[in-house]
Amino acid sequence: MHIAFVASECVPFSKTGGLADVVGALPRALAAAGHQVSVYLPRYRMTKLPDAQTVVRSITVPFDDRYRFCSVVTGGSHSGIKFYFVDYPPYFDRDALYGTPAGDYPDNAERFALFSRAVLEASKVLGVPQVFHCHDWQSALVPVMLRTLYAEDPAFRDVGTVFTIHNMGYQGLFPPEILPLLMLPWDLFTISKMEFFGQVNFLKGALVFSDFITTVSRKYSQEIQTTEYGFGLEGVLRNRAATVTGILNGVDYDEWSPQTDKFIAAHYSPEDLSGKTVCKRDLLAAFGVDPADPTWPVIGIVSRFAAQKGFDLISQIMDRLAREDMIVVALGAGDKVYEEMFRRLHKQFPQKIAVKVAYDNAIAHKIEAGSDMFLMPSRYEPCGLNQIYSLKYGTVPVVRATGGLDDTIEPWDARTGRGTGFKFTEYNGESLLLTIKQALQAFRDQSSWQTLMRNGMSKDFSWNASAKEYVRIYDRVRQIRGVNGSHAQPEPELVVRAR
Ligand code: ADP
Ligand code: GLC
């Protein structure tokens, strides 16, 4: 089967968060299972393509004010996957992917509409897939355009669409005038399609027009159908509940394993944990921390700094946490408020919290290896990858029981010796503090702590199982759309409404 991924980031070409890890790894698992996979991405300034070759010289993307002309280059084929990059320097040759700490780029709608339309046009030259698998609002216009502007195009007659929600908190909201500018029909501006409280909502468009909707953990697939987590789109999702599935993200152990990691000071394994002590020393040196006692546990944080991640709770409890024998090391960048919050906490408690405001992959790996615990107190978390990486590094996760964090971490029970981490449910500082204290208490019994570490290290979250689940979804989509031109009768709830 030929599947084309359409996404706004992908390791190793571009990354701001876990989406890039997923789009980097899932295609490889699919290709290994014998499928043909293409990946379409924007060509950003950060996208390094030493062997770039132009494969589509000029694509005309009509906007209401004027035409834009872009091209498509290939970065070659890696592990059997073809990578294609939409090249339009006025939109993508910029310092960042989506905006600066001060806010989003004002022309994000135009940028990602051009990207989506260019992908559809390019696929006619490079090979129309059986399924377009799109991710998050930046590629949400692919299913919308396929069922509107391209509805009568014979090239796309049998093409199916799968849309994966990695984060409901980012929807792509723009003023109504964007529709005519992008040459999209006004009839999309209704409550049953893309209208959302007076604005145009790209994500909503994908939820309405895609054949199948997935999200990145089972728990999150349920949460987003509630008012608390649905960000206003819970009703749209409930309408399509029969086509919404949660498939847990896998992780790429070629990149994230303490036995092979090229960024860490020493390798280690469940059988021989001694290298972890070397990694801990190396980590503390990298952060310039000289602890009063080298046996104190280190609590690591690696994160986008965003409201989603729950760091306001750390600020609430830091004065009390600072009384404990421990050190927090945090790496992150993003919203100004959290960057400043962490800097302030470091000034206030220089012996207890060290911070790097940066995006730094090598340091992220060092934190996974050198910490004893990993903290993710997220307000919501669709899947979360760092807690899964942490398990493999014997770095015990302390998490809030939400979304993928709840699905991947089992509570530690010292009596039975079962479990992989510590979880709390109520979103407040008291619950977080209590849970961290439980973890610190458990750390004092090093022999049972090592059982806990090894429980996590033995877990397998590689992509194999989840990739198979995606293939099952692609197969269902092909059935709906008609394999070999013979259209199957869609199940009633799968009829693409508003076609
Ligand atoms: P999200 O996608 O919401 O940011 P995930 O846990 O799914 O959260 O994935 C985050 C990914 O981004 C991980 O691979 C993590 O190591 C990486 N990451 C996040 N912030 C940074 C940072 N400041 N420096 C380096 N890597 C980071
Ligand atoms: C998102 C989510 C994160 C998830 C990642 C990859 O950015 O916030 O929880 O792991 O996408 O699916």
Tell me which CATH code domain 2-250+465-495 carries: 3.40.50.2000
Q: Burial letters for 89-107: b for 16+ Cβ neighbours within 10 Å, e otherwise?
A: eebbebeebbeeeeeeeee
pLDDT at res. 487: 46
Residue with the smallest CA separation from ligand 2 atom 11 is 166
Predicted pLDDT of residue 490: 40
How many Å lie between the centroid of ligand 2 and the Cα of residue 384? 5
In the prediction, which pLDDT does 100 show?
A: 85
Residue with tokens 């992220």: 364
Q: Which residues, in sequence order, are CB contacts of 217 under 8 Å at separation 6+? A: 246, 248, 249, 382, 383, 403, 404, 407, 408
Q: Is the minimum distance from the CB of 114 to ligand 1 under 6 angstroms? A: no
Q: What pLDDT, on a 0 to 100 scale, did the predictor assign at position 80?
A: 87
Give the per-residue pLDDT at 488: 44
Look at residue 208 in the predicted model and tell me its pLDDT: 98
pTM of the model: 0.95
Give the three-state DSSP class for 404: helix
Residues 376 and 169: their CA atoms lie apart, in Å, by 17
Distance CA 70, CA 80 (A): 26
Pairwise CA distance, residues 494 & 16, whole Å: 33
Domain residues of the chain, as ranges? 2-250+465-495, 274-457
Task: Write down the pLDDT at residue 79.
Answer: 82
Q: Do 2-250+465-495 and 274-457 agree at the fold level?
A: yes
Ligand 2 pocket, residues with Cβ under 6 angstroms: 17-19, 22, 166-167, 216, 249, 381-385, 404
- The alpha carbon of 343 and the centre of ligand 2 are apart by a number of angstroms equal to 25
Pocket mutation for ligand 2, best pick of 134, 165, 167 (most atoms within 8 Å of C-beta)? 167
274-457 belongs to which homologous superfamily?
A: Glycogen Phosphorylase B; (3.40.50.2000)
10-residue stretch averages of pLDDT, the chain, 499 residues long: 98 96 97 97 96 96 96 87 97 95 92 98 98 98 98 96 98 98 98 98 98 98 98 98 97 96 98 98 96 94 96 95 97 94 96 96 98 98 98 98 98 98 98 98 97 98 96 95 54 36
Check pocket membership of 263 for ligand 1, CB cut-off 6 A: no
Tens digits of residue pLDDT in 324-357:
999 999 999 989 999 999 999 999 999 999 999 9
